[in-house]
Amino acid sequence: MEKNKLQLAQEKLKSIYGYDQFRDGQRVIIEQVLEGIDTIGIMPTGGGKSLCYQIPALVLPGVTLVISPLISLMKDQVDALNELNIPATYLNSTLSASEESTRQSRIKEGHYKLVYVAPERLNHPSFQHLLEHISLSLVAIDEAHCMSQWGHDFRPSYLSVSSWLDELSQKVTVLALTATATKQVCFDLQQFLHIDQQNVITTGFERTNLTFQVKKGVSKQKFMSSFLAARKNESGIIYASTRKEVEQIFDELASKGFDVACYHGGMSESQRSANQEAFIHDEAKIIVATNAFGMGIDKSNVRYILHYNLPRTIEAYYQEAGRAGRDGEASDCVLLFSPQDVRTQSFLIEQSDRTDDRMEMEYKKLQQMTGFCHTERCLQQYILHYFGEDTNKTCGKCSNCVQAGEKVDRTKEAQMVFSTVKRVRERFGKTMIAQILVGSSNQKIKQLQLNDVSTYGLMKDWTQKDVAEFIDILMAEEYLRATGTSYPTIQLTEKTLPVLKGEEQLFITETLAPAEPQEQDDV
Ligand code: ADP
């Protein structure tokens, strides 16, 4: 490629943004775009996706169109660019007719290098008309996973983007950007945008400045209070799964004198945006929010993300957690786990109006999310593995890496669990398997004659709860899988057989010592 375009890009990086070097992946994506190659860029949240289209916009002739779902943030994004002296504007439904027409005229006159629009606008007659008068070089599709039904944030309005591009009368370069790297989403984007595998640029998904922690069996309220008390001067986001919970946490923190704001879909637009602004400008140190908050917000000094409840998918979790430490400084991502949250999410999936396939997929994703809370592996490694990036490297600082405890050989107990699953022909769920193993005298066990299974009572020294937790670990490590929807049954996987045959041993970090024999919980 012409060397000077890339050089020019490098100069803009320094002179406008003040950065010395492109990050991993940014350079390759920008090179491709400057060469006119349609590209899909996949980078984690905080990885630096915006520069991948902003810099080419400044180097290429004509206008760069940025398609973004974030109407409420377009103004902020454009203001931030204008502060850097980058000529940018946006067109969306918040503008008055006269303002819109002034902007359209200025776009035609070539005043702007970047124009942000929402997907709904693309087929608008006035916008079509505008396009006839301007020369587009690049179309950047931000949050491109919104195009895929398999993404965690599908937006029907994004469906029109690919046909709009197909019908466009000018030749433009397309750059789709997302932090969602699942195969299914990537495959959809490639199909919609006709982009070859070789032009899918995925950067490393590791976020080395983040420390992940999962807290199980703690009182969430107490944990939160002491966690926040130690961080009074730091900015952070607390995510909860329902509006009600957001309000409860907000009330509690406000009554304790914390500098806090809240954000959820049930609030008025103006209230939400006032609270968002307060957080962005450090007037409120903490924001308690549902997952409606955060997409597209570039606040660099968020020092922690506290998940009060379990998110539904690893994609959503990593996107939310990734909002910490955009400035590269050390930051914490803490997830408070309670089994009730898994039930709540299952219930929400069950209630949703989804096809069976879709529902099964949602349950699987939830199971993988739950696995994050039970795994013994390095938490960063678990996430990377989920996104298809296999590595043996451990982060050395997540709650699993620093967990004190001894590795104990649990091959024998794992074999007992696997044999039980096999003997009941993979027809029962976790509770039943645990009840058989501890020798429960539950009515249902008797009715189904499960007390005749040869492994009945083999783990009678364990509590039912501990066996269930052990099964959770075996699932998180993929020795077992749960299939089905609301009442998942436990099945063996390809990893099970070597352990069952005694060819491989299975070690668990012991925090799960067999409890003193006690009354079984036969509920
Ligand atoms: P994303 O959209 O991928 O979540 P952003 O584009 O908002 O991430 O970038 C995250 C942060 O990283 C921003 O504060 C941005 O200014 C900064 N950043 C981006 N590229 C670089 C770079 N090459 N060097 C240093 N900082 C960068």
- Ligand 1 shell residues, CB under 6 Å: 19, 21-23, 26, 43, 45-51, 298, 300, 326
Residues 6+ apart with CB under 8 A from 249: 224, 238, 240, 262, 288, 308
Cα–Cα distance measured from residue 112 to residue 129, given in angstroms and rounded to the nearest whole number: 17
pLDDT exceeds 60 at position 151: yes
Atom 16 of ligand 1, residue of closest alpha carbon: 48
Cα–Cα distance measured from residue 462 to residue 435, given in angstroms and rounded to the nearest whole number: 11
Instruction: Tokens 């990377």: give the residue.
Output: 384
Q: What is the mean pLDDT of residues 457-480?
A: 92
Decide: helix, strand or coil at residue 356: helix
- Give the residue among 411, 430, 408, 413 at the shortest CA–CA distance from 421: 430
Q: What is the mean pLDDT of residues 380-404?
A: 91
ipTM of the complex: 0.98
Q: What is the per-residue pLDDT for 521?
A: 35
Atom 26 of ligand 1, residue of closest alpha carbon: 19
Q: What is the mean pLDDT of residues 37-49?
A: 92
Residues 6+ apart with CB under 8 A from 378: 393, 394, 395, 396, 398, 400, 401
Cα–Cα distance measured from residue 465 to residue 444, given in angstroms and rounded to the nearest whole number: 18
Chain centroid to CA 235: 20
How far does the centroid of ligand 1 lie from the alpha carbon of residue 52, in Å? Answer: 10
**Looking at ligand 1, which atom is closest to the CA of residue 298?**
7
Instruction: Tokens 């007719």: give the residue.
Output: 97
| Mean per-residue pLDDT of the chain | 90
Q: What is the per-residue pLDDT for 118?
A: 92
Quote the strand ranges of 217-263, DSSP E: 235-239, 260-263
Q: What is the mean pLDDT of residues 215-239?
A: 93
How far does the centroid of ligand 1 lie from the alpha carbon of residue 22, in Å? Answer: 10
416: its two tokens: 């007992």
Q: What is the per-residue pLDDT for 520?
A: 35
Cα–Cα distance measured from residue 373 to residue 335, given in angstroms and rounded to the nearest whole number: 8
Cβ distance 138 to 64 under 8 Å? Answer: yes
**Looking at ligand 1, which atom is closest to the CA of residue 26?**
23
Q: What is the per-residue pLDDT for 1?
A: 55
| 36: phi then psi, degrees, rounded to nearest 5 | 85, 25
Cα–Cα distance measured from residue 47 to residue 23, given in angstroms and rounded to the nearest whole number: 8
399: its two tokens: 């709650």
Atom 6 of ligand 1, residue of closest alpha carbon: 48
pTM across the whole model: 0.80
pLDDT exceeds 50 at position 404: yes
How far does the centroid of ligand 1 lie from the alpha carbon of residue 496, in Å? Answer: 43
What are the C-alpha distances in Å from 494 to residues 252, 422, 428, 453, 500?
Answer: 48, 13, 19, 23, 11
Q: What is the per-residue pLDDT for 522?
A: 33
pLDDT exceeds 90 at position 180: no
How far does the centroid of ligand 1 lie from the alpha carbon of residue 50, in Å? Answer: 7
**Looking at ligand 1, which atom is closest to the CA of residue 19?**
24
pLDDT exceeds 90 at position 227: yes
**Looking at ligand 1, which atom is closest to the CA of residue 52?**
6
Amino acid residing at 354: R
How far does the centroid of ligand 1 lie from the alpha carbon of residue 431, in Å? Answer: 46
Count helices and strands (H / E) in the chain. 20, 17
pLDDT exceeds 50 at position 219: yes
pLDDT exceeds 70 at position 486: no
pLDDT exceeds 80 at position 397: yes
How far does the centroid of ligand 1 lie from the alpha carbon of residue 326, in Å? Answer: 7
Q: 186-212 pLDDT, tens per residue?
A: 999 999 999 999 999 998 889 999 999
How far does the centroid of ligand 1 lie from the alpha carbon of residue 301, in Å? Answer: 12
- Of 326, 327, 329, the residue with max ligand 1 atoms within 8 A of its CB, to mutate for a pocket test, comes to 326
Atom 9 of ligand 1, residue of closest alpha carbon: 48
Strands 136-141 and 173-178, sheet pairing: parallel
Q: What is the per-residue pLDDT for 2?
A: 56
Q: 104-144 pLDDT, tens per residue?
A: 999 999 999 999 999 999 988 999 999 999 999 999 999 99
Cβ distance 71 to 94 under 8 Å? Answer: yes
Amino acid residing at 302: V
Q: 331-369 pLDDT, tens per residue?
A: 999 999 998 899 888 888 888 777 777 888 888 899 999
Q: What is the per-residue pLDDT for 279?
A: 95
Q: What's the pLDDT band for 217 if we cut at 50, 70, 90?
A: confident
Q: What is the per-residue pLDDT for 3?
A: 58
Quote the strand ranges of 81-160, DSSP E: 88-91, 114-117, 136-141
Q: Where are the alpha helices (DSSP H) in 390-494?
A: 411-423, 430-438, 443-447, 464-476
**Looking at ligand 1, which atom is closest to the CA of residue 23?**
23
Residues 6+ apart with CB under 8 A from 167: none
How far does the centroid of ligand 1 lie from the alpha carbon of residue 54, in Å? Answer: 11
More reliable by pLDDT, 388 or 114: 114
**Looking at ligand 1, which atom is closest to the CA of residue 21?**
23
How far does the centroid of ligand 1 lie from the alpha carbon of residue 49, in Å? Answer: 7
Neighbour count for residue 485 (Cβ, 10 Å):
15
- Rounded to a whole number, what is the distance in angstroms from the first to the last CA of the chain? 69
DSSP conformation letters of 93-112 = TTS-HHHHHHHHHHHHTT--
Q: What's the pLDDT band for 231 if we cut at 50, 70, 90?
A: very high
Cα–Cα distance measured from residue 70 to residue 494, given in angstroms and rounded to the nearest whole number: 43
Decide: helix, strand or coil at residue 12: helix
* 416-419 contacts, C-beta under 8 A, 24 or more apart: 416/455, 416/458, 416/459, 417/467, 417/470, 417/471, 417/474, 417/480, 418/479, 418/480, 418/492, 418/496, 418/499, 418/500, 419/454, 419/455, 419/500
Q: 273-322 pLDDT, tens per residue?
A: 899 999 999 999 999 999 988 877 778 999 999 999 999 999 999 999 99
Strands 286-289 and 260-263, sheet pairing: parallel
| 404: phi then psi, degrees, rounded to nearest 5 | -80, 150
Q: 58-84 pLDDT, tens per residue?
A: 999 999 999 998 777 788 889 999 999
